[in-house]
Amino acid sequence: MVRRTLAAFLIGAFVALGVCGTSARAAQAPPTIKIGTLYASAGSFAAISMPVHKALLLWEEQVNAQGGIYVKAYGKKIPIKIIAYDDQSSTSTAATLYNQLITQDKVDILVSDSGSVLTSVAVPIAREHQMLLFDQTGTGMNFFTSDNRYIVLLSDPISNLWPKNVAEFLVKDGPKLGIKRVAMLYSTNDFTGSQATGFRDFLKGSSIDVVYDHGVPTNTSSYTVLIQTIKALNPDAVIELGYPNNDISFLRDLQGSGTKFKMVFTVYPGLETDLLLKTVGEKGLAYTYTYTPPTVIKYKPDYGMDLDTFKAAWIKKYKDTTDFGFNAVAGYVTALVLEKTLATSESMDQMALRKAVFGLSGKLRTLDGTFMLRGDGAQIGELTPLGQIVPSGNGEVKFVILYPPEAANGKAVYPAP
């Protein structure tokens, strides 16, 4: 009898302790997980910022409809609240607002605005406040140093890695095609400036001769004279690295001036194909080279929606107000990484979050490919192959993947017709 009473007491005590423990843990849980971020509704970077931001809002709506996301640190599902301010593409406004998110709103998680320019001001601020910066698409190579533990790049590879496949294609396949002289024109910002640096580094020691290597301001809207300057040097390939506005103007001026180069590479026909089709047209994009987007590769994700499902959800919510493209995917990848991080992090401490993000490296495969981090927080996965756009004749375009060889599904049409 005594033994049974003692056993019942012990079981009761354990249950009570367990309940109390759970209650105490649940009591500490906040009503929402606050995610602070910025977006640019206007200005030079609105086009790349709004799709990323809208993808985060779509995710917020979806997860909150299911009661929130599982947060391991509190052992329960908690709704998320995105606190977002409009920086209007201004770095000075962004700096003030990043500070506000940290010091006034006291957000649990800090997510930078899209693109390297608006991320550049967040890097020192996050470091100073010892907040881990969830960097969405700010890929500038100088953001990542071994002594800064407060940044992780989520949705794009670091900029100087982007042209790896382009440069390797030129070095390995170029001589067979007769490519010896290359011209490079780039916009002078962290994103494309770093790509230009990477491109130069990849070409070092090769037989490729860079005959033109010049930067232009990011707000450049007229390329006709620059195209003529390059044409006078008779290059075998032209690499133009710019933001959407640059690529649109460059490709339109190329078409308008009647100039033909044997090979033209630009960044955004691959990343924002719908936008470039609307602004440049099928003819202007024909046979240009670009980064092959995840929309073509269609990675099979281990986590989150696949591309078709995500695109359908996007179109249902945003219809024609915001083009679906790579930046929409990038915003959704940010959301997936945040979701996984909170589901695995032991606490909400910033270093615990960092450990959890790094724990995903090489293991998380989304619709954007495999998530993989370098020790300094730079993204080295999610690298896009080199592709060539082939007109389909019905106003749409097709992509042929050219490099690396293991991903290739066709051969380059060189020189372009």
Partner 1 sequence: MLEYSLLAGILFGLYFGLVALGLNLIFGVMKIVNLAHGDFLMLGGYGAYIVFTDFHVNPLITLLVEIVIFVLIGFPLYYLLVPRLQASRDPEMLSLILFFGLSQVIEALATLRFGSSERSIPGTVLGDGPISLFQQTFPVAWVVSGAISLLAVGAIYIYLYRTRIGQLTRAVMAQREEALSTGIDVQRISAIAFGIGIAGAAVAGVLSPFMMGSITPSMGVGITITSFAVIVIGSLGNPLGTVAGGIIYGVALMFMQTYFSSWANLLPYLLLIAILLVKPTGLFGRRMRNA
The residue ranges that bind partner 1 (CB under 8 A) are 40-44, 46-47, 49-50, 89, 188, 214-217, 219-222, 224-226, 228-229, 232, 244-245, 248-250, 252-253, 255-258, 275, 278-281, 283, 320-323
CA angle, corner 276, sides to 274 and 281, nearest 5?
Answer: 100
For the CB of residue 193, give the shortest distance to partner 1 in the complex, in Å: 10
Residues 6 or more apart whose CB falls under 8 angstroms from that of 282 comprise: 391, 392, 395, 396, 397
Q: Tokens 């591309």 appear where?
A: 307
Minimum CB–partner distance for residue 282 and partner 1 (Å): 10
Supply the minimum distance, in Å, between the C-beta of residue 93 and partner 1: 13
Biggest alpha carbon–alpha carbon distance for the chain: 102
With residue 69 as reference, give the H or E element that holds it. Answer: strand 69-71
Cα separations in angstroms, 301 against 56, 296, 297, 328, 354: 18, 14, 12, 16, 23
Q: Three-state DSSP class for 276?
A: helix
Helix (H, G, I), strand (E, B) or coil at 210: strand
Measured N-to-C along each axis, helices 46-65 and 326-344 cross at an angle, to the nearest 10 degrees, of: 40
Nearer to partner 1, 168 or 253 (CB): 253
Shorter beta-carbon distance to partner 1: residue 41 or 392: 41
Residue with Cβ nearer partner 1 (211 or 407)? 211
Q: Which is nearer to partner 1, 219 or 392 (CB)?
A: 219
* Residue at 19: amino acid letter: V
Closer residue to partner 1 in complex, CB, 47/161:
47
Least CB distance from residue 354 to partner 1, whole Å?
32
Q: What is the DSSP letter of 161?
A: G
Which residue lies nearer to partner 1 by CB, 118 or 357? 118
Return d(Cα 414, Cα 417) in angstroms, integer.
8
Q: Where are the beta strands (DSSP E) in 79-220?
A: 80-86, 109-111, 133-135, 151-153, 181-187, 209-216
When the beta carbons of 6 and 42 are compared against partner 1, the nearer one is: 42
Residues forming beta bridges with residue 261, ordered by sequence position: none
Q: Which is nearer to partner 1, 172 or 278 (CB)?
A: 278
Least CB distance to partner 1 at residue 219 (A): 6
Q: Closest approach of Cβ 115 to partner 1, in Å?
A: 13
Give strand ranges (E) for 222-300.
237-241, 264-266, 289-291
Strand partners, 387: 290, 401
197 sits in which H/E element = helix 190-203
* Least spacing, CB of residue 302 vs partner 1, in Å: 31
Report the nearest approach of partner 1 to the CB of residue 303 (Å): 29
